[in-house]
């Protein structure tokens, strides 16, 4: 006969500690929300630990995050260390967000006397752990000082430690905000390339930082494919926020436009919608809008200061597709005009941002590098993969976006 199920109290005692303690659950959630656990070493954090070690004259320094059952070290100066069991570290003792924990002689303090760092080869005697707080005032990390000699900290040294902990908090907050912004921006990029009979298409957006001002988008309707490639001046979160607005205005304007409406007028509507935002932020946007008539291969083009699109024909000849329009946000009364080209079977259109343009123009062959790449006969996905590899190897300093469209040769 099966045993009866345990009462709720018994289930509770078997639950992980993080579920039994609301405060611990909130702390763990705050740590997880940083999105920084198990990420590689970063110079911006290593700079803090190096400076703390030098200025405060201790043996080693860590930026420590207490995870569920371990303490993980984002940065370590003076020691080679990645993580340790949580209960074997000083860091889990830091619980008061209002002041640092000072242990002047770890051998004589009951909280630390049995820790491996004290009894083992490290022989730690002095410890100072300053809590690193998130925006809600909770402890998400600790800036820790260790030394093999008993000692104390002066008031001036305590102030320096507090300043370095605040610096650490700013870096951690920036990491969390960038991670969240990146997730949002990534979610707004096309999830996959659309399936267009008789064509192949693929795209890529690689921000130089966690987020950036580049974006691309598709608008798909029967017998019609719209492609947008935009670049907001600047990098980082500010440019990313503007790029989201630009994308939305382009989509709304494209939805209202008829299939035969002039694309220059479409850019004009986008410009009027963005006028206030761009002038308040002293920014501007380059924008390339393409409209492909799928059965005929006729491509209508409107270019607002972008100028980075190549038409490589099946016979290998290439033309740079450019327009005469200014970027959006430069002049309030600017106008844009539509031009046309025909994408014959086997032809390729390669549109890209200035992040890639600057990189290839730094080589002797210039844009010929991209033309030669297209001439290899790679599919749009293959072209995008090659651009990704190139930008990774060359360490792109600006956002890189590319869209490749090929009309089937058959």
Per-residue pLDDT at 225 exceeds 70:
yes
CA distances from 277 to 200, 282, 283 (A): 36, 8, 8
In the chain the domains, ranked by start, together with CATH numbers, are 16-182 (3.30.450.40), 190-407 (3.60.40.10)
Out of 12-26, 210-224, 231-245, 350-364, which region has the weakest mean confidence (pLDDT)? 12-26
pLDDT at 182: 61
Q: Residue 17 — very low, low, confident or very high, per pLDDT cuts 50/70/90?
A: very low
Residue pLDDT, tens place only, 56-89 = 999 999 999 999 999 999 999 999 999 999 999 9
Residue 45 in this model has a pLDDT that exceeds 70: yes
pLDDT in the model for residue 73: 96
pLDDT value at position 345?
96
Q: Compute the distance between CA of residue 30 and CA of residue 111 in angstroms, rounded to an integer.
A: 25
Rounded Cα–Cα distance for residues 218 and 228 (Å):
6
| pLDDT for res 4 | 47
Write out pLDDT tens, residues 253-267.
877 666 677 899 999
Task: Specify the pTM.
Answer: 0.59
pLDDT at 215: 87
Task: Quote the pLDDT of residue 251.
Answer: 84
Q: How much of the chain exceeds pLDDT 70, in percent?
A: 88
CA atoms within 13 A on the CB side of 57: 8
Q: What is the rounded average pLDDT for all residues in the chain?
A: 86
Q: With contact defined as beta carbons under 8 Å apart, do 227 and 215 qualify?
A: no
Tally of CB atoms within 10 A around 87: 11
Residue position matching structure tokens 């752990």:
129
pLDDT for 240 beyond 80? no
Q: Please give the average per-residue pLDDT across 309-336, as a whole number.
A: 90
Q: What are residue 165's phi and psi, to 5 degrees?
A: -65, -40
| Overall average pLDDT of the 32-54 stretch | 90
Give the pLDDT confidence score for residue 340 in this predicted structure.
Answer: 94
Does the pLDDT value for residue 407 go beyond 90?
A: yes
Check residue 96 and give its pLDDT: 93
The 10 Å Cβ neighbour count of residue 187 is 8
Task: Provide the pLDDT confidence category of residue 139 given band limits of 50, 70 and 90.
Answer: very high
Judged by average pLDDT, the poorest of 13-27, 222-236, 237-251 is 13-27
DSSP string, 336-369: --EEEEE--TT-EEEEE-HHHHHHHHTSTTTTHH
For the residues 193-197, what does the mean pLDDT come to? 92
Confidence category of residue 212, pLDDT binned at 50, 70, 90: low
- Tell me the pLDDT tens digit for each residue of 319-332: 999 877 899 988 88
Report the pLDDT averaged over residues 381-399: 85
Question: Residue 186 pLDDT > 80, yes or no?
Answer: no
Q: Which two tokens stand for residue 277?
A: 């935002």
Q: Quick one: pLDDT band at residue 148, thresholds 50, 70, 90?
A: very high
**Gyration radius from the chain CA atoms:** 28
Question: 7 or 323: whose pLDDT is higher?
Answer: 323
């Amino acid at each position: 006969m099966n045993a009866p199920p345990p009462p709720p109290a018994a289930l509770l005692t078997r639950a992980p500690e993080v579920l039994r303690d609301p405060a611990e659950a909130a702390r763990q959630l705050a740590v997880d929300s940083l999105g920084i656990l198990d990420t590689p070493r970063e110079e911006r954090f290593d700079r803090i630990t190096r400076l703390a070690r030098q200025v405060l004259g201790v043996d080693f320094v860590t930026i420590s995050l207490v995870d569920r059952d371990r303490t993980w070290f984002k940065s370590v100066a003076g020691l080679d260390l990645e993580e340790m069991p949580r209960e074997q570290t000083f860091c889990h003792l830091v619980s008061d967000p209002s002041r640092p924990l000072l242990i002047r002689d770890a051998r004589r303090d009951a909280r630390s006397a049995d820790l491996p760092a004290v009894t083992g080869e490290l022989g730690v005697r002095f410890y100072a752990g300053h809590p690193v707080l998130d925006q809600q005032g909770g402890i998400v990390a600790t800036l820790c000082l260790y030394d093999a000699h008993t000692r104390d900290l002066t008031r001036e040294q305590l102030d320096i430690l507090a300043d370095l902990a605040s610096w650490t908090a700013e870096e951690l907050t920036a990491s969390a905000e960038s991670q969240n912004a990146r997730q949002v921006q990534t979610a707004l990029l096309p999830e996959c390339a659309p399936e267009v009979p008789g064509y192949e298409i693929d795209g890529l957006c690689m921000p130089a930082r966690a987020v950036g001002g580049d974006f691309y988008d598709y608008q798909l309707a029967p017998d019609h494919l719209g492609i947008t490639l935009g670049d907001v001046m600047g990098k980082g979160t500010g440019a990313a926020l503007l790029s989201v607005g630009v994308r939305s205005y382009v989509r709304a304007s494209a939805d209202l436009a008829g299939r035969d409406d002039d694309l220059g007028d479409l850019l004009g509507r986008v410009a009027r919608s963005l006028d206030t935002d761009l002038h308040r932020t002293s920014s501007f946007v380059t924008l390339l809008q393409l409209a492909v008539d799928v059965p005929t291969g006729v491509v209508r083009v409107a270019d607002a200061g972008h100028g980075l699109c190549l038409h490589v024909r099946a016979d290998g000849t290439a033309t740079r597709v450019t327009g005469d329009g200014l970027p959006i946000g430069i002049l309030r009364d600017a106008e844009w005009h539509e031009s046309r080209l025909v994408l014959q079977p086997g032809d390729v259109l390669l549109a890209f941002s200035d992040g890639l343009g600057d990189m290839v123009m730094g080589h002797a062959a210039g844009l010929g590098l991209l033309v030669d790449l297209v001439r290899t006969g790679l599919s749009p996905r293959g072209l995008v993969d090659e651009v990704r590899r190139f930008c990774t190897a060359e360490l792109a300093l600006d956002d890189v976006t590319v869209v490749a469209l090929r009309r089937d040769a058959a």
